[in-house]
Amino acid sequence: MITLLVVPLVLPWLLPALARRTAERVRPDIALWAVATSTAALALGVAACLGTLLLPLVLRLPVLADFAHLLRPVQAGPAALVFCASMLAGGAIAVSVTAGARGARAELKRLRAVRKLVAGMPEAGGLCVVDDERPDAFALPGWMRRSDRIVVTAGMLRALDPGEREALLGHERAHLSGRHHLFLSVAQLAGWCHPALAAVVPVVSYTAERAADEAAARACGDRRLAARAVGRAALAAASLRSGLQAPTAAARGTTGPVPARVKALLAQAPVRRVVPALLAMALLCTAAGASSLGGAVWLHRGVEVAQGEHPAD
């Protein structure tokens, strides 16, 4: 039955391909919710299973010696195999925690730096213009909506004509109103839990950009103008890649596969539809959840057996 605890560790490898297909076929705002939710669900399954597999190793610690009799429920095979699985789980958890700590520290450092940059700057309607020739623009989320800011450099404003500027600002406003930084943060956290989920982070970023592109196109009423703004802003930013060091959660309108974004904007507006990729993603999460639940039930029954509260089969 220990296999039930391994299945959720394998299922995430199926998500990247499904996520990419969903991003291509489904309306961006729906795809963003579907991919981010699936990523979070699979990450929770991975964390729960690794924690359970770690029990045989943890219960060997002297400080937990009083609970040693509970070791029996997770010894569902040869002792050497169980101990090896527990060691691997411990190593995976250590790698994930280390990567998460380093990544979170770097993100917070960049966030503090950008907040310090705009702290004393005048703003109009949440827009801060930085006197910097490097073309850049991004949405900087605040702790509350009223502290959200759109940060744009003077270099970016000079690179665009008035219509393109409005489209770009509409794009960044859509990031803030849609709280896309939350989706990006969840995806990043999940990516630190499992290497396959790390491959989904760019897909979440792309769907967030596509959702903001569509919102900008609706706001300015011209899809070609929105496409031109995305393309010119990306070209301007690419001319000098050493832009402002914003955190990942501060979504940029110049990131992602820009040619694909421009092509999508020049095509017909996406419609709401459910495709097999969405259903497959739902089934994937259901399978992970069922496997984790089955493992939890088996573990609970094993604990009862170890405590003498339930007869063993």
Instruction: Report how far residue 275's alpha carbon sits from residue 15's, in angstroms, rounded to the nearest whole number.
Output: 15
Phi/psi for 46 (5° steps) reads -65, -45
What is the layout of strands, in order, in the sheet containing 137-140? 127-130, 149-153, 137-140
Q: Name the residue with tokens 């195999």.
A: 81
Q: Would you state the pLDDT for residue 212?
A: 93
Instruction: Report how far residue 252's alpha carbon sits from residue 247's, in angstroms, rounded to the nearest whole number.
Output: 10
Q: What is the CA radius of gyration of the chain?
A: 24
Q: Would you state the pLDDT for residue 2?
A: 61
Q: Would you state the pLDDT for residue 21?
A: 87
| Sites in the chain below the pLDDT cut of 70 | 1-4, 58-82, 239-255, 269-275, 277, 288-313
Q: Would you state the pLDDT for residue 48?
A: 82
Q: Would you state the pLDDT for residue 202?
A: 93
Q: Would you state the pLDDT for residue 67?
A: 55
Q: pLDDT tens for residues 28-43? A: 998 899 899 889 988 9
Q: pLDDT tens for residues 62-112? A: 555 555 555 554 555 556 666 777 788 888 889 999 998 998 898 888 888
Instruction: Report how far residue 49's alpha carbon sits from residue 60's, in angstroms, rounded to the nearest whole number.
Output: 19
Q: E strand or H helix at 129, and its extent?
A: strand 127-130
Q: Would you state the pLDDT for residue 198?
A: 93
Instruction: Report how far residue 161's alpha carbon sits from residue 207's, in angstroms, rounded to the nearest whole number.
Output: 26
Task: Tell me if 156 sits within 8 A of 233, measured CB to CB.
Answer: yes
Q: Return the amino acid letter for 246.
A: A
Task: Tell me if 292 sits within 8 A of 48, measured CB to CB.
Answer: yes
Residue 207 has a CB neighbour count (10 Å cut-off) of 30
Instruction: Report how far residue 13's alpha carbon sits from residue 16's, in angstroms, rounded to the nearest whole number.
Output: 7
Instruction: Report how far residue 89's alpha carbon sits from residue 81's, in angstroms, rounded to the nearest whole number.
Output: 12
Q: Would you state the pLDDT for residue 87?
A: 82
Residue 74 has a CB neighbour count (10 Å cut-off) of 26
Q: Return the closest-CA partner of residue 209 out of 171, 156, 157, 161.
A: 171
CA dist list (Å): 95 to 103, 153, 202: 12, 38, 21
Q: Would you state the pLDDT for residue 294?
A: 58
